[in-house]
Amino acid sequence: MSANGLNAIDRLVALLSKLPGIGKKSATRMAYYILDADPSYSRLLAEQLLSLHSVIKRCSRCGSFTETDPCPICSDHSRDASIICVIERPQDIRVIEESREFRGQFHVLGGLIAPLEGVGPDDLSIGKLLARIRAEQIREVILAMNPTVEGDTTALYLQKLLKDLDVEVTRLASGLPVGGDLEYADRLTLSRSFRGRVKV
Ligand SMILES: [Zn+2]
């Protein structure tokens, strides 16, 4: 193999190892897999990556990633439009949807209050949340942040903010699995099933 070819692999490995959870070893395995695979695979992969940002947008209502605006969840009329589940990031929706426990609306904050990192309430989609609660006759707001310092701070801030509104505020007891990992999502589903168990 030529020196140039090796450099191209090194460059690919460097890019792949930036992905979360991918170390240099896995990145190297991926790079060689791509190289060994039919060229149509790498073409397809490259095309998907290139089109990602032009195809995926933010839903103007909930702030989630979507190809259509409003997103499929916001435009699903079979869902309960009077309950909003407030989450940190768009990928949290996937985890909650997997659990099949929730059939309401979502609102993506776009982060958590983290003073040490310079993230304040104004950096989050809180004004829009308040506007939605008022405009959409919301009766319950579920705060579904992770039980971390930032998650608790954000939930507390929202609790105080929503106190004066005519809306019920609840919070998930266990929070979301860190990283939105599907392995943990199964656990979440399980724990919810346990909590919701009924006597037969
Ligand atoms: Zn939406």
For ligand 1, the distance from its centroid to the CA atom of residue 149, given in whole angstroms, is: 27
For ligand 1, the distance from its centroid to the CA atom of residue 73, given in whole angstroms, is: 6
For ligand 1, the distance from its centroid to the CA atom of residue 59, given in whole angstroms, is: 5
DSSP alpha helix (H) spans, the chain? 3-16, 24-36, 39-55, 91-99, 126-135, 149-162, 182-195
- Category of 100 on φ-ψ map: left (φ > 0), alpha (ψ -120 to 50) or beta: left
Structure confidence by residue, pLDDT tens digits, 77-95: 999 999 999 999 998 888 7
For ligand 1, the distance from its centroid to the CA atom of residue 66, given in whole angstroms, is: 8
Number of DSSP helices (H) and strands (E) in the chain, helices first: 7, 6
Structure confidence by residue, pLDDT tens digits, 35-44: 999 999 999 9
Q: What is the dihedral of CA 168, 157, 181, 73, to 10 degrees?
A: 50
Q: Which residue has the higher pLDDT, 171 or 71?
A: 71
